[in-house]
Amino acid sequence: MKGNDVESLTKLLKEHGVDLSAVKANKLMLQIGLLEEATRESSTRPGVIKKYKVLSEKGLDYGVNEENAQSPDQTSPYYYKDSFPELAAQLLAADLAAGK
């Protein structure tokens, strides 16, 4: 079981000196199956569907989906500090394979 100590992707990328933006890292995680897109109806504009990213079952090895305080019907991924180096290595390998 992974530790309960979680942090945002942006902060962990900076702390570990990973030369990827959070946007790029999220795109890579979608490609390798660690993230997936979910949808919800907009709370302010009925009929409008909003997309957001959640950790897939495979991605749950690296973090948790926590409720978003601004949007209670939505979660946001947060990543385990102790397994982040392993995740970062996968992201860098996927980025290299994609040819930047």
Q: What angle, rounded to 10 degrees, do the helices at 22-31 and 84-97 form?
A: 80
Whole-angstrom Cα distance, residue 74 to residue 31? 21
pLDDT band at 89 (very low <50, low <70, confident <90, very high): very high
pLDDT(100) > 80: no
Return the percentage of the chain with pLDDT > 90, whole number.
80
pLDDT band at 29 (very low <50, low <70, confident <90, very high): very high
Query: Per-residue pLDDT averaged across 49-74, rounded?
Result: 92
